[in-house]
Chains A and B, each alone.
Chain A
Amino acid sequence: MHKLGMNKKGDAGNIMEDSVSLFIIIVLIVCFFIFAKFYFIFTEKQIDLKIEENSKFSEIDFAAKQIESLTFSINHEIISFSKLARLSKIDSKYGGIFESKLKEINEGEFGVKIKATPYNLIYDNHGDAAYIIIPSSEPIVFEVTKS
């Protein structure tokens, strides 16, 4: 009886030791996650992404900017690319004119191809194309790629 009691006491001691070890391990794991989180907070890096405005890093992007600033003379009125794109959505008369202007761009001097794009296609090939987005009730998106 007495021996059994002593054994019980010994077991209890071992279990306590195991619990302490387990506790320490859990604390260490928690500390590890906290450390990981704080490491990235305190070593935050700021990367300067300034690029010269006239940089010809991307020819397509440059061409897109050129196209966006185009103006067209229609019925003695000077109309910008954006305005013509917006009008083409509202009035079929302008739709025909705009289509012919797009054809001129695609066959012209810019060396790029331009087409209207639904938004969900955009992120599939970003980097190979530049985009012209026309503000509107439903923004109109054009994809500019190398022809």
Chain B
Amino acid sequence: MKTNLGVNKKGIFGVLLVFATIMIIGTAFISFNAAKNKISSEIDTPIRLIELNAIKNTFLIYSNDSVNLASQHSYKILFDEINDIFPSSCTTYLNSVIIKDACLIDQNKLENKFLENFNLEYSKLINTYPKPMIDVDKKNILDYQIFPKFETKIQDNILFLESNGQEINISKQTKFMDYTYSINVNPKNSLNLTKEKIFLNDLKNLVMEINSKSKICKIKTTDKELLSCFSEINSDQFTLSPSINIGNILIEIKTKDKFFFIDSSTEKFDNLSFNVAISKA
């Protein structure tokens, strides 16, 4: 009798346990489903779609404008680090490259340097997009990440952004669920650098012209004649200011247009310039 009662007790306990398990899993399944559908319907409502669409539009405008601004920042960096786009064998005078036949701007280096700067500056701007803008939930600031996916190239002074779109991943973590919303934004895929007053080809041609002119100007005997000779070089985009400095000629090349750039963490809007040198000998 004792043994049968023991078996019965165990049996009842087992059956109850199975029932409890089924009940718990069933209730969980129903409540999880309800929670999930609630979130889905919240996102499906027109107001949510409007909000998400507004986020997309705002970011798209920001992203397109960032392309223009990044190109200007990159131009400034190019001017600051102009010596990098001359052959490494070139010599310098007062930190300015002494131009001669073997020391002219390398077009490939020029474009690659510009693109390298652009990629960096563009990513930087995209990553400074203000975080609180993406708040689908209203109550919480959601964590988000932006993945700028793009490749760049320059052809005929047009900057091409080959992009699969930029993905904004907005995520929210709850006890059981991790929500991730992905919004794909396609920024503009090209920028005419000429319209932005960025003249990469002209920069190279100007340095070549200075080099050619230097051969004529060097035979001038007086400093005045020499400076006047270099002043004859005309450019629509740049102004040239030659000066004589202990046996060498320094020429400041300055843009006629102004550009936005960051200097010591401060945004400025000014002309850009760099110097090249010519050996008088």
Contacts and interface: CB of A to CB of B under 8 A. Distances in A.
Note whether A and B form a binding pair.
yes
A137 B24 contact: no
A137 B268 CA distance: 10
A40 B130 contact: no
B36 A141 contact: no
A133 interface: yes
A58 B69 CA distance: 28
B50 A58 contact: yes
A135 B268 contact: no
B266 interface: yes
Nearest to A87: B269
A32 B49 contact: no
B44 interface: yes
B260 to A, nearest CB: 6
Nearest to A69: B61
What size tier do the contact residues of chain B reach?
35 or more
Given A57-B46, A123-B132, A133-B61, A28 B265 contact: no
A89 B268 CA distance: 10
A28 B25 CA distance: 10
B-side binding surface: helix, strand, loop or mixed? helix
Contacts of B46: 57
B47 interface: yes
A136 B267 contact: yes
B24 A127 contact: no
Interface in B10-33: 10, 13, 17, 20-21, 24-25, 28-29, 32
Contacts of A82: 65, 68
Contacts of B125: 135
What size tier do the contact residues of chain A reach?
35 or more
Contact of A45 (B17, B40, B52): B40
B82 interface: no
A116 B176 CA distance: 39
A137 B125 CA distance: 8
A47 B170 CA distance: 14
Given A86-B269, A119-B133, A127-B51, 18 more contacts: A21-B17, A28-B20, A28-B24, A32-B25, A36-B176, A39-B32, A49-B52, A49-B181, A57-B50, A64-B57, A65-B57, A90-B268, A122-B130, A127-B50, A127-B138, A134-B62, A135-B69, A138-B267
Counting from the closest, the 9 A-B pairs by CB-CB distance are A123-B135, A137-B267, A135-B66, A119-B130, A61-B54, A123-B132, A58-B50, A133-B62, A36-B176
Interface of A: 17, 21, 24, 28, 32, 35-37, 39-40, 43, 45, 47, 49, 51, 55, 57-58, 61, 64-65, 68, 82, 86-87, 89-91, 119-120, 122-123, 126-127, 130-139, 141
18 contacts: A24-B17, A40-B176, A49-B53, A49-B183, A51-B49, A57-B46, A58-B54, A61-B54, A64-B58, A65-B57, A90-B268, A90-B269, A123-B132, A123-B141, A130-B54, A130-B58, A135-B65, A137-B265
